[in-house]
Structure 1
Amino acid sequence: MSPSAPPTRRSVLVPTNSVTTKDGITDVADVIKQLCLNLQIQEPYTSFALRDDSEELVTDENLKRMIKQKAHLRLVSAPKLEALDIVEKLTIKEEKSYRLALFSLQRYIREDEFAREFLARDGLQELIQAIMTTHGNMLAYALTTMQNLMELDYGWSGLGEGFIATIVRILSSQNPINVCRPATTILKKLVEADPRSAPGPMVASSSTRAPPAPPHSVYRYGFDCVYEQMSLQRNLLEIVVGRLGSADSIMGLNSMMLINSLLSHATDASWEDLVSELERLNIRKAVVRLMSSHISEDLTSSILDFQANIVRVTYRRKTAPVDPQQDEAALRFVWSSAKLPEIIDSGELYRWRRIGFTSEDIRKEFSEVGALGLDCLINFVKSDPDYFAKVVLEQVNRPIERRCPVVKASNEIVALLAEYWSIFAPGYSTSTEFQPFFLNFTKVHTLVLKFFLRMWNESGAATADFGRVISLARSQVNMALKKESTRQWHEVETAFLESEYRDVRDRQMKELELEDDLLNKVPVRNLRAKLYKESFEFVRQQRIQCLLQGAWFINGIPVASGNAGASREALKRPNRTWRFMRMDKSARYIHYVDAHVKFQVRAGLEDLPERIEVAQIAEIGTGTCIVPSGVHRDADLAGAALTASPLSFSLYSSREGTLADVVASDGSYWADWTDGLNLLRKDGGHVATEETAGFVNALTEIGLKVKLLNLSGEKVEIPSSLVAGPPPPTVDFFYADPGYIWQQA
């Protein structure tokens, strides 16, 4: 047989004890050369490779592990020749060999040597052709191959609009689960393959102009080109949202992750359209339903990611100014629902002042709460138009000093709830639990505003008492919304609609004894928001530094939900007790080594032969495995032997199975790694542990008190608000140079 032609595939069983190494150096090429000589094989040794029973390719990195595990190795065709063979079968398109080639391609495409040869032989075009023309299982094989190829950072930069349109069409059709799973992941990967996500300096936000993609870089797609194709299939988002409740947990997880990626990477041009469409499809209601019914730990992290994305959406609405022209229809709806006539006095129009604003300047009145305030006001009016008209009419018929400023109260309630849920800055969320009430922000706003109006009437408040009644509302919010993840909605309704004024007032007075009124002033709240953002970023960097430093973990035994009480004999014990994990400086891989006993791990990655690609981590599940019997455990790990450890976590891939199941030695390491990995995610990050959230909040409060010492120590009075002076009567003025004035003095 000529050297240029691929040899007939061999599958020669190689006893592990026949594999020897020279001077302790493992070199797969030398091993294969030795085997070819012993077996008297005539073809060049470069035409062969070694694989184990699971078809894993033996490399210099994993050869030692294979030998230690006494794996059964087989001598087979080299990946380059396998690539030639598969490309040829894809080109011929004979049905049986075509199906087999697509099936094998799913596994082999992950191997660098195979992938490079496959791509060099124009295999990518054959794969794209298969995706566009096949169906059923063959389409599933082709899509899974593309999904695995996209885990590499090369080779798929040539995918065009036609390919993206095909993936969108596949997802929009009623295809089987095994087709929709990889198609959803492919679309998510395309959204994230934005020039801003390319290795190198990070770009601050999606609104910043993206740098041009380097030649042949896979980071050349992104949100805009994907959403353009999605917009042509208007039912796609509806289908994806519908699949959140799929009985197949992986399908639901992939759909949740796609939605998170879209929200995280949306650009200014399409952001409004995407959010509006998701709101129309009741995405929040679908996620709240998942919170109460989900049975898989896989979804927990993605749900928290979604909450963090909604924090970003809410903050953006809160900081978006209200434009009287663009929002004319909404403002006209509010005014017409009030059913009041306009009044013109001395040539001055009285409209918005009649329902509670202090001026007719809409931009100014909504300056603190932006479009979010208008959204909440509209929802309040729509929830009961007759009630709104009745309340407004009652206030108008009262003396001016006794009137309740209804719309001003609405905006104050929005600001109060934004503070309660820490809507301080985009992309920062320290919530470690599900927040179904936060996802119903406007609904909660309506309840609190009705509570405010009731307290106003029951307390006989006057205009000067506005701040006092807002304080009552703040106290009630803190009480009614606590333990949000476990509280029922009817309990919240009861707390706001049926509570007695005297009970609320008595509780608030007790709270005031322990509370500093200074901390509730607007300038101090704004300072807290700034310090919160700085503290969050500081803790985030600290967590990532812990990943770079590395740590020892116990290899845990994964326990499926509901099987935590299974007998230990039914659970598979790990081959080695301990695992050391460390992330490399590029943040692309987690390198690790398994061992029977702990040892001193040197700096760098030389002692860590195995690795996990961070991009493959779809979810970080917590409380997922138990500690094997006989392992020396610290006090934090002691407990029921057959129950999942609270210090355990699993790294889930986007497909079946986990990449790692480990137990931390204490709560600090557990928080470092679970939050560190969550905050690395490209589809948005969140804090998942109380320890990290506590650090952020503690740093914020300490920083705030240190800042205030300079003021309170000097007895400086901090105003609740600043009133801007009147504008200059003309533009005939200039600003003097302070240095010049000082010299003249």
Structure 2
Amino acid sequence: MSTLNSNAGASRSTLAPSGTNGHRPKSALIPTNNVTLKEGGTVRTRIDPTLTVEDVVRQLCVNLKVTEPASNFALRDRDTDELVVDENLRKVIKNKTHLKLVNASNIEAAETVQKLRMRDERTLRLSLFSLQKFIKEDGFAQEFLNRGGLRELVDVIDSQHGHNALAYALTSMQNLMDHDYGWSTLDDAFIYKVVQILSSSNSLVNVCRPATAILKKLVEADPTNAPGPLVASSSRSPPVAPPGSVYRYGFQVVFEQMRKVKGSLETVVNRLGSADTAMALHSMMLINSLLSHVNDDRWDEFISELEQLNVRKAVVRLMSDHTTDELTSSILDFQANIVRVTYRKKSTLVEPEVEPAHNTALQYIWNCSKVQEGRDDEGEVLKWRKLGFMSESLLQEFQDVGVLGLDCLRHFVQDDPEFFSKIVLEQLSRPEERRCPIARASNEMVELLAEYWAIYAPQYSTSTAYQPLLLNFYKVHALATNFFLRMWNESGSAAADFTRVVALARSQVNVALKRENLRAWHEVEHDFLDCEYRAVRDRQMKELEAEDDLLSKVPVRNLRAKVANEAREFVRQQRIQCLLQGAWFVNGIPTSTTNSARRPHAAWRFLRLDNGLKYLHYVDSAVKFPVRNGLEDLPDRIEIAAISQIATGTCAPPSNIIRDHVDLPPASTLAASPLSFSLLSANEGSLADQVAPDQARWADWTDGLNMVRKDSGHVTSEETASYVQALTEIGLKIKLLDLSGAKVDIPSGLVAGPPPTNTDFFFSDLGA
């Protein structure tokens, strides 16, 4: 930029629309802004708020007798480097922001690329520091990419200069990836390098945070997440993104590189315990993204590795160590992901002849029992029935609980193999009708716990609180199974009493696991291990008096699960419809100490979700106005993928706003409104701070936004959770009325017959 001819510190001018000769009747009402020149001088000027930024810069250059074209210059906030554009010009004038005249974005981008090529250590570090902020701007990013800046940035990351330079470079790449263009050429070598940096014990926190965020973005850049129609490569192949699209990566691409670096996933899990909250948050978000996007080919391998790394234990520790809004949402996301993982295990058949892992687990259980095979009275093999199964067909025995049931039984045995052998041999020493069917009891406890935690493969979880015991499913299952065995022995039960003992266990599960987020583990253990049979029986009898026994029957429980899924989907569609219609919100003032200085420049904001569920479009306005259908009136947008969580109770409405709804609380003090929420980004802080006009609108939008996020699966409000529960109960009762009205007898359980021995059969036409 050429030298500006001005009397630094003494020059004063008024920038007004052409034709007014700089004279305005109310010019005294226009605030005065200081503008610092590149060389350090400062001029004071009044800027007409009706001008465009382009006009302001052009007139400023004319007044200062700049010989270069005005298009070479731009205005920025001197303190924050925020680019002044038409949308925020009024705000900076009103706030008397100290501005600076700088290179235009395209020139700044060209110079930055040139400096990156120089590789001078000091110049490189300073350029990367500025690049972190400038790369967020579309104009700068486009020119940076056109000049080959991406390749230079990748080379800087690959060459690993000092820690600070590397941190700035990774953060710049992370911010560049917030744009949905320009980084489709990142290859496996780059991803491998980022995984190496992430896994290195020498990497500092400020390096690991952006590295983790980059991997998360790559995982989510899956072809199925691409906006617009997808191109299917063939009828059997997954969809692929159009040429040049950044949505060409996904779980498979990232996980392949993570497998090449030993201990990379372990490092991510270990960092959940980081003293740096932001590092823990980034690690939690990456794990959630991997869980949400894992494909079928790698599902078993990935889930198995996560389990071996005790990720659940690490998250349970996070529940007690951290109470920040940022982590709360991610922990609830993780819980929802675990529900989906648990359901998938429960619905995966146990096939020892097909899956070596299933056969290995079953063989381990059998060996620990120290029982010998035998023959029954009819000469048939007697093996698995000795452990308490009803038949020798393991496919049939685990049909309702799947691999989850097998894993639970294996963990039960693994906790104390000697105890398992002892109780099996003890039961075999009794008369057959008095034996406790241990394996069958184990599977029944799996069913009870799955029912309690609503393991129904939901698209989202209705739990609004932490569920540490859900994350300890195997340990709780072991407690419940031991409780069943003890009740069986203390009550002197026989084979015909199995259902009755199951009812006792169901009653105890409901009592012991209630309000699990507030209970210590030893209290839960006490409820299962030290309770007396008579007390449990008396309580259960009272419960039976208050409820219909019909609801405890297996077919009805299965029907409840189906109705619950339908209720969840209905509520999800209702919430999304609210987002598609759009609504007005008050622009709130953040109450946190870090963001309290950020005040909205307009009182109202209208938000609307696009039909592709990819972007949240909005417009800010001093007054509410009728917004047309579509997106024409909504010039700005927030990418849903950029929202890491929806925090609630975060901001207050401005004190001078004219409220048109009685539910909006007074704002005499800067206290967070219970109707407020913020859309938080992992690296940019808050993307939006809003206050809803009423409780219903707040519930619709906080839960609706959580439902459309790719790595989320939980609701925020008790209203939505209660709504799903009410719809489930009403739907169930309506269906049961249909059955009872037709006097259909509902059995306690259905036993499937043995599978056909061959394929030489056909289904008859019942209508014939």
Same fold (TM over 0.5): yes
Matches within 5 A, 1:309-458: 309-325=337-353, 326=356, 327-345=358-376, 346-425=378-457, 427-458=459-490
Take 1:63 and 1:370, find their aligned partners in 2: how far apart are those partners? 61
Maintained 8 Å contact 2:227/2:614: no
Change (3 A) 1:630 1:34: closer
Maintained 8 Å contact 1:20/1:31: no
**2:73 paired with 1:48:** yes
Take 2:520 and 2:103, find their aligned partners in 1: how far apart are those partners? 62
What do the CA deviations read for 1:143-171 (whole angstroms, capped 9, x no partner)?
Answer: 11100100001000000111001100100
Deviation at 1:250, TM superposition (A): 0.9
Take 2:165 and 2:490, find their aligned partners in 1: how far apart are those partners? 70
Counterpart selection for 1:157 from 184, 207, 213: 184
Maintained 8 Å contact 1:127/1:142: yes
**2:43 paired with 1:18:** no
Take 2:711 and 2:517, find their aligned partners in 1: how far apart are those partners? 23
Deviation at 1:727, TM superposition (A): 6.2
Change (3 A) 1:116 1:558: closer
Match of 1:291 in 2: 319
Match of 2:616 in 1: 590
Maintained 8 Å contact 1:14/1:75: no
What do the CA deviations read for 1:642-679 (whole angstroms, capped 9, x no partner)?
Answer: 76443332222212632333333332222222212222
Match of 2:58 in 1: 33
Take 1:302 and 1:367, find their aligned partners in 2: how far apart are those partners? 33
Change (3 A) 1:622 1:509: same
Change (3 A) 1:35 1:625: closer
Counterpart selection for 1:88 from 111, 114, 117: 114
Match of 1:719 in 2: 747
Structure 1 SS opposite 2:74: strand
Matches within 5 A, 1:681-696: 681-696=709-724
Match of 1:145 in 2: 172
Deviation at 1:78, TM superposition (A): 1.6
Take 2:702 and 2:102, find their aligned partners in 1: how far apart are those partners? 40
Residue identity opposite 1:660 in structure 2: A
Structure 2 SS opposite 1:234: coil
Match of 1:470 in 2: 502
Match of 2:14 in 1: none
Matches within 5 A, 1:120-199: 120-133=146-159, 134-173=161-200, 174-199=202-227
Change (3 A) 1:558 1:734: closer
Take 1:237 and 1:703, find their aligned partners in 2: how far apart are those partners? 43
Match of 1:115 in 2: 141
Change (3 A) 1:243 1:199: same
Change (3 A) 1:169 1:596: same
Maintained 8 Å contact 1:650/1:659: yes
Structure 2 SS opposite 1:478: helix
Take 2:674 and 2:581, find their aligned partners in 1: how far apart are those partners? 23
**2:244 paired with 1:216:** yes
**2:252 paired with 1:234:** no
Change (3 A) 1:505 1:99: same
Change (3 A) 1:182 1:667: same
Maintained 8 Å contact 1:427/1:684: no
Change (3 A) 1:636 1:63: closer
Which ranges of structure 1 fall in alignment gaps of 5 or more residues? 3-7, 564-569
Match of 2:549 in 1: 517
Maintained 8 Å contact 2:590/2:598: no
Deviation at 1:245, TM superposition (A): 1.5
Percent identity between the aligned chains? 61
Residue identity opposite 2:73 in structure 1: F
Take 2:229 and 2:452, find their aligned partners in 1: how far apart are those partners? 34
Structure 2 SS opposite 1:167: helix
Structure 2 SS opposite 1:118: helix
Take 1:201 and 1:455, find their aligned partners in 2: how far apart are those partners? 58
Take 1:410 and 1:638, find their aligned partners in 2: how far apart are those partners? 56
Take 1:469 and 1:358, find their aligned partners in 2: how far apart are those partners? 17
Maintained 8 Å contact 1:15/1:73: no
Change (3 A) 1:719 1:384: same
Maintained 8 Å contact 1:425/1:529: no
Change (3 A) 1:347 1:127: same
Maintained 8 Å contact 1:52/1:73: yes
Residue identity opposite 1:260 in structure 2: N
- How many residues matched? 722
Structure 2 SS opposite 1:62: helix
Mean Cα deviation higher: 709-718 or 319-328: 319-328
Counterpart selection for 1:252 from 280, 290, 301: 280
| TM-score normalized by the length of structure 1 | 0.90
Change (3 A) 1:584 1:344: closer
Take 2:86 and 2:687, find their aligned partners in 1: how far apart are those partners? 21
Residue identity opposite 1:430 in structure 2: T
Take 1:203 and 1:217, find their aligned partners in 2: how far apart are those partners? 12
Change (3 A) 1:170 1:389: same
Take 2:229 and 2:730, find their aligned partners in 1: how far apart are those partners? 31
Counterpart selection for 1:99 from 114, 125, 131: 125
Take 1:190 and 1:371, find their aligned partners in 2: how far apart are those partners? 31
Change (3 A) 1:380 1:115: same
Take 1:425 and 1:573, find their aligned partners in 2: how far apart are those partners? 41
Residue identity opposite 1:339 in structure 2: K
Take 2:581 and 2:487, find their aligned partners in 1: how far apart are those partners? 55
Maintained 8 Å contact 1:404/1:462: yes
Change (3 A) 1:124 1:574: closer
Take 2:255 and 2:370, find their aligned partners in 1: how far apart are those partners? 42
Change (3 A) 1:14 1:640: closer
Change (3 A) 1:496 1:187: same
Counterpart selection for 1:486 from 500, 512, 518: 518
Match of 1:567 in 2: none
Match of 1:623 in 2: 649
Take 1:649 and 1:730, find their aligned partners in 2: how far apart are those partners? 60
**2:312 paired with 1:281:** no
What do the CA deviations read for 1:118-155 (whole angstroms, capped 9, x no partner)?
Answer: 11111110000011112311111111110010000100
Deviation at 1:557, TM superposition (A): 4.4
Take 1:729 and 1:141, find their aligned partners in 2: how far apart are those partners? 66
Maintained 8 Å contact 1:476/1:504: yes
Change (3 A) 1:47 1:640: closer
Residue identity opposite 1:166 in structure 2: K
What do the CA deviations read for 1:219-246 (whole angstroms, capped 9, x no partner)?
Answer: 1111111111101112111111111121
Residue identity opposite 1:62 in structure 2: N
Take 1:636 and 1:504, find their aligned partners in 2: how far apart are those partners? 48
Deviation at 1:559, TM superposition (A): 4.0
Structure 2 SS opposite 1:659: strand
Counterpart selection for 1:700 from 728, 732, 755: 728
Change (3 A) 1:112 1:557: closer
Deviation at 1:339, TM superposition (A): 2.2
Change (3 A) 1:480 1:729: closer
